[in-house]
Structure 1
Amino acid sequence: MADYSIIQKDFYRESGKWLSTFEIWKKCINPNLHFVYILRKAQKYQKSPLLNTFWRIVLRHYQIKYGFQIYPETQIGEGFYLGHWGSLVINPKTVIGKNCNIAQGVTIGQQNRGKNEGSPIIGDEVWIGTNAVIVGAITIGNNVLIVPNSYVNFDVPPNSVVIGNPAKIIPTPNATMDYINRKVQ
């Protein structure tokens, strides 16, 4: 396999095709992909003072335009996929693994007090449904499906479905099967 960039890997999740730079630009008409492209550029140039300033200004504009509140400091693995645009908040200290899908209305935030003070760590191949809330210094394992409208403030083991408010864990070997498609290696 060729050495594809992280942007190409993110865009592969949407189309199932490896795209050239020009084809990526053509796909940027989609607000989700456009935002991911700008986010990845802002992440790439964090250590370059001039380019960092430029990409942060561009990113801020599109955060407001599209309703995504994701910052360059957020560690996000390759194959990141935003299902729908609008109203999405992710704390900058959050860590997100590879091949993760996040729908609209999701909040992934820090907890400021108590036993779970801090921000979440989310594993690989996690599908997070519409309006789910994930808070605190918790760990979400690999291959986890978080059902829409779930509230998660506790650790979730791998290979699970999380449902409800208060949330319940249902062990499921193929939790994200047919939910996470076109995974990147």
Structure 2
Amino acid sequence: MSNSQIQKDYYRIYGKWPGKFFGKSLMNPNFRYIYFLRKASIHKKKSFLGLLYRAILYHYQTKYGFQIYPETQIGEGFYLGHWGTVIINPEVKIGRNCNIAPGVTIGKTNRGKKAGVPVIGNEVWIGTNAVIVGNIRIGNNVLIAPNAYVTEDIPDNSIAIGNVAQVWPNENATEGYISNKV
């Protein structure tokens, strides 16, 4: 992870590249959380800066309701639509240009044939209160509708709707939902 990822996350939110100093943007709770998440990810867990950034991140986890860990592998252009409860297991892998709305849970299943965590592709939009669990793959250009419960693989270029999610092919699944792509 690098500072360029922070700049690309900034771009996803604001639609422009930051100047040399983008401290004003830290007023946005979503960007503030992503900023400290990236900083905690860059530094070793037990280094001084690693401990400092993790302490700050923990403060914002409890303040805003995000439970996303520095160990989570998240591609550039990460976007949290609004602050509110978002829970992501630290073993999850998330691709580039992904949007996550409030109430989303991306978690681990500890038993059965789908034991494990999801791997989420690029340009995935995940709607409010969606739940994605188990050792599954979410393809690229996928829209997961609000309140969807996803326990099976979702192919590229698809929309997943419902509980248990039904999948419909759609080449333009995320068109109009993911802006300022990096």
Counterparts of residues 48-63 of structure 1 (less than 5 Å): 49-63=47-61
Pairwise mapping of residues 29-108 of structure 1 onto structure 2 (< 5 A)? 29-46=27-44, 49-108=47-106
Misfit runs of 4+, over 2 Å: none
Following the alignment from structure 1 to structure 2, what is the Cα–Cα distance between the partners of residues 90 and 20? 31
Q: CA deviation at 1:20?
A: 1.8
* Equivalent residue number for residue 17 of structure 2: 18
* Higher alpha-carbon deviation: 40-49 or 80-89: 40-49
Question: Per the alignment, in what secondary structure is the counterpart of residue 38 of structure 1?
Answer: helix
Distance 1:47 1:32 in 2: 23
Q: Secondary structure at the match of 1:39?
A: helix
Query: Which of 151, 166, 169 pairs up with 1:168?
Result: 166
Q: Residue 117 in 1 paired to residue 107 in 2? A: no
Q: Distance in 2 between matches of 1:46 and 1:58?
A: 15
Q: Could you tell me how far apart the structure 2 residues matched to 1:60 and 1:122 are?
A: 24
Amino acid paired to 2:6: I
CA distance in 2, matches of 1:19, 1:149: 34
- The whole-number CA distance in structure 1 between the counterparts of 2:69 and 2:46 is 16
1:133 to 122, 131, 134: 131
- Name the counterpart of 1:156: 154
Where does structure 2 lack aligned partners over 5 or more consecutive residues? none
Q: Do 1:122 and 1:139's aligned partners in 2 also have CA atoms closer than 8 Å?
A: yes
Deviation readout 1:84-136 (Å, 9 max, x if unpaired): 00111000000000000000000000001001101110000000000000000
Alpha-carbon contact 1:79-1:99 (below 8 Å) kept: yes
Distance change >3 Å, CA 21–CA 54, structure 1 → 2: same
Provide the residue aligned with 1:5 in structure 2: 4
Cα root mean square deviation, aligned: 1.3
Query: Is the CA contact (8 Å cut-off) linking 1:46 and 1:72 kept in structure 2?
Result: no
Q: Aligned residue pairs: how many? A: 181
Amino acid at match of 1:15: Y
Q: In 1, Cα distance between the equivalents of 2:82 and 2:18?
A: 21
Unaligned runs of 5+ in 1: none
TM-score, normalized by length of structure 1? 0.95
User: SS of the counterpart of 1:5?
Assistant: helix
